[in-house]
Structure 1
């Protein structure tokens, strides 16, 4: 085993009081929704145990509310709620007694989706649904007592510790920041008064749980918010927490209402760990860092340069529960890397859907999608090596089926080969690396550059045929669609079409936004350079002004193209993009001067440009290039030919449904089918 030599910091133990952590990797807190399903105990246990078996050293659960106003479905404030948690902790400790599991205590404060939400002052969050009720003295005492009671019950439930979250715009953090704490009593005003609430919570919790219960406090080390905490406030709070008995400080970055992305794929890996490193020099207790640390070499580098003592890898544990073991065993190329897309995790969380993972559809469905040996073993043909075909082929082969994967192209990937070309989406290279390796590991027979037809498949002796041929760009019925000004988005992204200086993009879905990003981008991708990222989002890591942001309009590099992004719908352009990332794409393009127009009826393309009606009025867009992003259609020709020959086949991915390119749906369909055949 050479991995521990490669990752000596990751695989070193850490003693914290009576506790010994087996390695430096923490599965960070994620809100999955599993706590609210009917069979919560079994599903939560299976979810965590998979990660325990995968080698993680410490687990922090999703947020558990200490009070009925806490704003999350899961609550621990009554003894009757203990058994659910005990089932989970017993399962984790049975799987590996050396693994520590800590419960996160979360009160969402003004972000709670209830008119009964509470806060230090009646200040509505930009993303909150209600104006919170201002807590009086009795209410504050009730909240403090609730935190202590919750921690005590967590100990009774078998947890090794608790994490109190004091960041992100949740209840505790709103006491700390002046803009959300406008009180003039002993709980507000001066900095000493504003930090009184978190310190009193910690003091009471420590009394309730005793000295040997692992106590973590998640601090907002950089709010990414104008009017947020100043650096000296962050330091003084951390020191005061240490004095009150906190064992570990976990650093968090940004409030949810911040206009700075912190966990999306456009964010560079380990972009914020330098802030943790600066705070670590001020304290004597261990620090946890987080955000966009998705591979073992990134974690090792963070630890080696002294930025932290522990690394939180939350969503990477959704993507690959075996990440830590693979790193230990030198199998890094087999890691299914988190690409930071947010589509099945955070987007689901904020729309109250069950969390999962785009690249791993089994995440949070461990009891539903079960990997069993194939009985009987079948010969299976898969046509199309895009996301759906790759997921099906590798999983079916892992079960023991004999799988042959065909694709007419000379490389695997399908639409992912377009996605990886978009600045800010470089992580898609990792998913393709993973699938290439899985093809080898599980013995899939790969035949690239091979165009198959129904007769070939019929004569191939296959027991099952899976059609994953993806999509074809839709060609709108528009006069002038064959004009030289009109080009397909596929050709633009692939670099096969020339794009002029004045451009109209027909279609403002995800593809339209990707194309606009590509053709307006200039210089180094911010996702690959922390300094560029900081400039583009107005972050000042060097001076750490209040909240960490400059307050000056960020400088976004752009070329000299004049771009108009348009759509038929009269709704806000980009409204249908992902809940947690769509705003970043809209804001980036606005800063580059991209014009966004809705309510467009396309009339014709000619030498003069693109003729339209905008809200019923004729408008000519004088452009050099019209990029057509008018949707796509399922590529089902082969499926139809097989059906005509009386041969049954399965459709997955875009070949099944192509309303919008959706890798999440494609991989989920393929995964479910691979478990069934």
Structure 2
């Protein structure tokens, strides 16, 4: 019997039967913009070989004004069609199916030529859009249809029309962005005219034997968003216009509610998709934070959807479906929804990849080929850098011995998993444990390697990590002063009033840990929805309500030396979430602080270069989160003995708890040894 009978059941679309219920959702990776079509093709082919039923590309612009950014990829002519044929042929040769997403960014397009139903500027773009006239509307519809026709010509199995997330089609639907009084605005019948005409025209040009997915916004999460009755009306009309499948979109990009970050509960929006089940006769797809076969199976078994969409999990592991079908789910590299290497890269104009899988989007240049001559390799430190180096080296056929002075592997990942909202890190540590055991690595826990232990190995990799930096604050040796290690790793008792010194990623994590009191709304979906103001769209238009956070477990003040807004340097797509979460808990954040001394009353600070405004931050406990220093003692000792070692991760560069850089560095080193 199948371990996941619902997830792995076929789905009949009439002209084609999909082999399972797993869609690889659209992700913009910036790969198409490289114009390296072999690289693009290999990225998708790897996922096709991994067994996914259907993939959707990143959004392809139907015209220049509709591109998410200047130079965004699209199918603008014969050359583009020929290039995309390289991709579709490789996918089909691998036994897969692929649809192209047609995405018109509307007012989210980052250019002065952006267009929208009304000239209302987005809060996340500096460019006010140009209001479309009748001829302009016809041009956008025609361009989208032409793009879909070119997708068929290029060999795609279908298209996904992007109608959610606050892009152009979605902008026509809601009064938040559509203030028109002509036949394209006003009543809901008029407001939905544009997306319906798009679907009709696309179906007309692609024919009946072609998959047409419509990405429908079920929960806008913005003021003046759609009611659920309007969503159902649109869904039925889109079905009648020719859609094959409805895919779920949750939240506009400008919404102040997290929708895919790690702090969002798993399958946190499947309840909304379930409300649409039975209202239409075509399959409905659930999306957002579905990251394991068990979660996907549960969503389907509970009748929340006909199919599940997983995007980033296929960055983490292209063999997701194959491993699930073979009963090897514990070997699936987990998506921890950190955004650090995927969305943060995308919105910074970089090639996307994955913190856990550095080969994602780099399949053609980062390869793990068998080693010509197997060697004996010692890896010291089982944090993220050492673990990845050990796994890649073992995969290539080297004999690996992994030394770790602690009783459990994982290094500083074991502190990350203690933070409310970062429970996914527990699964990451468990995955590393599984893979180390299956790789046949000689793991030596509670073993602090010495120079003598490492003699005789062909290669030595030092990944000894970091230690907290000494901030040299007078009074820091007092009993009321703790380090972040004391709090997160040792479970030290913390008072009710806390000063957190240092507002980098660790400081924010510690503050989150302290105000939540160890409990996590991520594990309690109803509490999480109340905290962020997510409501039932049947009762609140757009699903927006006033946030109702639980009272904080402690009174926390977060301070930093830098004279800037605390949290400014956090992740590009998640920093706002961490700042908002602490603000909801009443955390006071202070920048430009000089730490003068600590006494029994708390932390004494002044501000600015001239040390003005002396202030006492009253605190029962002061927690030091003042950065890290590399632990290089072993590396230096090896050098004195003439033993050459490769130093990676925090031992190489101490930069917060940078697992992304550490894992990438470990993988790339082991790939070339």
- TM above 0.5: yes
| Equivalent of residue 241 in structure 1, options 238, 243, 246 | 238
Secondary structure of 2:606 counterpart:
strand
Which residue does 1:285 correspond to in 2? 282
CA apart distance, 1:579: 1.3
Give the whole-Å Cα distance in 1 for the aligned partners of 2:410 and 2:549. 34
How far apart are 1:525 and its partner, in Å? 1.4
TM-superposed deviation, 1:523: 7.1
**Structure 1 residue 544 displacement after superposition:** 4.3
The answer to whether residue 101 in structure 2 is matched with residue 104 in structure 1 is yes
Q: In the alignment, is the contact (CA less than 8 A) between 2:565 and 2:591 conserved in 1?
A: yes
Report what 1:667 is aligned to.
663
Equivalent residue for 1:45, pick from 38, 41, 47: 41
Distance in 1 between residues matched to 2:491 and 2:50, nearest whole Å:
43
Q: Distance in 1 between matches of 2:281 and 2:585?
A: 45
623, 628, 637: which one aligns with 2:624 = 628
Q: Is the 8 A contact 1:77 1:146 kept in 2?
A: no
Q: CA deviation at 1:622?
A: 2.0
Deviations 1:133-155 (A, max 9, x none): 11111111100000110000000
Aligned to 1:515: 510
Query: 2: distance between equivalents of 1:79 and 1:26?
Result: 28
Contact between 2:393 and 2:670, CA under 8 Å: does it hold in 1? Answer: yes
Alignment correspondent of 2:85: 86
- TM-score of the superposition, structure 1-length normalised? 0.97
2:560 matched to which residue of 1?
567
Counterpart residue number, 1:555:
549
- Quick check: 1:577 aligned with 2:570? yes
* Residue number in structure 1 paired with 2:592: 599
Q: CA deviation at 1:38?
A: 4.2
* CA offset digits 1:57-109 (Å, max 9, x no partner): 1111110000111224111122221011100000000111xx32100000111
User: Given that residues 18 and 54 in structure 2 are in contact (C-alpha distance below 8 angstroms), is that contact kept between their aligned partners in structure 1?
Assistant: yes
Residue 479 (str. 1) matches residue 478 (str. 2): no
Kept in 2: contact 1:382–1:468 (CA 8 A): yes
**Aligned-partner Cα distance in 1 for 2:121–2:544:** 21
Shifted more, 501-510 versus 477-486: the winner is 477-486
Alpha-carbon distance between aligned partners in 2 of 1:663 and 1:523, rounded to the nearest angstrom = 23
**Distance between the aligned counterparts of 1:647 and 1:388, measured in 2?**
20
Distance 2:292 2:539 in 1: 27
**Equivalent pair of 2:176/2:223 in contact (CA under 8 Å):** no
C-alpha deviation, 1:498, in angstroms: 2.2
1:121 maps to 118
List per-residue Cα deviations over 1:423-464 (Å, max 9, x = no partner): 111110111111111111111000000111122212xx1000
Distance 1:624 1:241 in 2: 60
1:660 Cα deviation after fit: 1.9
Query: What is the CA–CA distance in structure 1 between the aligned matches of 2:604 and 2:621, rounded to whole Å?
Result: 13
Alignment of 1:534 with 2:533, yes or no, is no
Which residue among 203, 207, 226 is the counterpart of 2:204?
A: 207
CA distance in 1 between counterparts of 2:295 and 2:117 reads 39
For 2:359 and 2:244, the matched residues in 1 are separated by 34
Match of 1:411 in 2: 408
SS at match of 1:69: helix
1:454 aligned residue: 451
1:170 aligns with 2:167: yes
State yes or no: 1:61 paired with 2:60.
no
Query: For the residues of structure 2 that align with 1:354 and 1:348, how far apart are their CA atoms?
Result: 6
Aligned equivalent of 1:619: 615
User: Which residue in 1 is equivalent to 2:500?
Assistant: 505
Q: How is 1:19-34 mapped onto 2 (pairs within 5 angstroms)?
A: 19-34=16-31
- Contact kept? 2:378, 2:400, Cα under 8 Å: yes
Q: Does 1:187 align with 2:180?
A: no
Structure 1 Cα separation of the partners of residues 430 and 578 of structure 2: 26
In the other structure, the counterpart of 1:391 is 388
- Partner Cα separation in structure 2 for residue 495 and residue 436 of structure 1: 21
Write the distance in 2 (CA, Å) between the matches of 1:38 and 1:644.
48
For the Cα contact (< 8 Å) 2:227–2:537, is it kept in 1? no
Are positions 1:493 and 2:488 aligned together?
Answer: yes
How far apart are the structure 2 equivalents of 1:181 and 1:67?
A: 21
Change (3 A) 1:491 1:329: same
Paired positions, count: 667
1:356-395 to structure 2, matched below 5 A, reads: 356-395=353-392
Contact map agreement 1:152 1:205 (CA 8 A) in 2: yes
- 2:530, 2:547 within 8 Å by CA — same for their partners in 1? no
CA contact (8 A) 1:523 1:557 kept: no
Q: Work out whether residues 115 and 129 of structure 2, in 8 Å CA contact, stay in contact via their aligned partners in 1.
A: yes
Q: CA deviation at 1:495?
A: 3.9
Report the alpha carbon displacement of residue 653 of structure 1 after superposing the two structures with TM.
Answer: 0.7
| Equivalent residue for 2:214, pick from 209, 214, 217 | 217
Give secondary structure in 1 for the equivalent of 2:236.
helix
Give the Cα–Cα distance (whole angstroms) in 2 for the partners of residues 284 and 194 of structure 1: 23
Three-state SS of the structure 1 residue aligned to 2:66 is coil
* 1:534–1:472 Cα change, 3 Å: same
Q: For 1:43 and 1:153, how far apart are their aligned partners in 2?
A: 21
Secondary structure class of the residue paired with 2:64: coil
Residue by residue over 1:158-179, the C-alpha shift from the partner in whole angstroms, topping out at 9 and shown as x without a partner, is: 0011000001111111111101
Q: 1:297 aligns with which of 268, 288, 294?
A: 294
Equivalent-residue separation in structure 2 for 1:178 and 1:348 (angstroms): 32
RMSD of aligned Cα (Å)? 1.2
Q: 1:496-530: per-residue Cα shift (whole Å, max 9, x none)?
A: 42211211111000100110011110474121121
Measured against aligned partners, the alpha-carbon deviations of 1:265-291 in whole angstroms (never above 9, x if no partner) come to 111111111211111220001111101
CA distance in 2, matches of 1:134, 1:393: 56
Distance 2:518 2:411 in 1: 26
Cα distance in 2, alignment partners of residues 307 and 496 from structure 1: 39
C-alpha separation between the residues in 1 aligned to 2:75 and 2:154? 10
* 8 A contact 2:409–2:429 mirrored in 1: yes
1:313 and 2:306 correspond: no
* SS at structure 2 position matched to 1:587: helix
